[in-house]
Amino acid sequence: LSSVVSTKQAYTYGSETASIKIAALDFGIKTNILRCFAERDCLVKVFPAKTSFQEIKAWQPDGYFLSNGPGDPSVMTYAVETTKGILNSGTPVFGICLGHQILALASGLKTFKMHHGHRGLNHPVKNLISGLGEMTSQNHGFAVSKDGIENQNQVEVTHVHLNDGTVMGIRLKDKPAFSVQYHPEASPGPHDSRYLFDQFLGMINESKAIKV
């Protein structure tokens, strides 16, 4: 489904003089995600879902974004392979919703179809790193499986749903990449999770400083 709703041609959003360039893979991206990046002095180039890593890399982005979107992530082998290439480049990566699931698959985890999906506002999520709770907006019918997470050393669970314990966020221990299952950009709110955009930009700025 993502390949159907994705843009047919690449386009940019934000100021051409922005200090940070972000390449976004469009699996069904929301405009407010682009606004959240533009507000933080980012120029985003949105690429069709099936764009190859080499084509995206040629734009020389400072970071990569894996967007939300519809459909079963386990059949999106093209997106998983592109994400593996992105991860191997060592450039910072941030994923939301379907992008979170794609990052998980590219990292060797599994996904599953939920019996009841998470829909609507005010879903309680706990940030396991800070210990703080967040009220979140969610809209998904698939999730990252817990099976196998405890048996590998590359991925850490960072957020969990307080109602059913499902995985709501992960980060890679050996690469600058993280993702969340919910929507920090939600226009009507809650806005508890907008810090994730700043966290991503902090990761990008750190990466750029190391390169310099």
What are the residue numbers of the active site?
Answer: 97, 183, 185
The DSSP result for 3-30, as a single string, is: HHHS-SS-EEES-TT-SEEEEEEESS--
Quickly count: other Cβ atoms within 10 Å of residue 205's Cβ.
15
Task: Choose among 49, 51, 91: nearest CA to 70.
Answer: 49
Sign of the Cα pseudo-torsion (39, 134, 74, 30, in order): negative
d(CA 92, CA 94): 7
Angle at 175 between CA 144 and CA 101, to 5 degrees: 20
- Give the CA distances from residue 49 to residues 15, 39, 57, 75, 111, in Å, rounded to whole numbers and listed in that order: 23, 24, 14, 13, 19
SS3 category, 101: helix
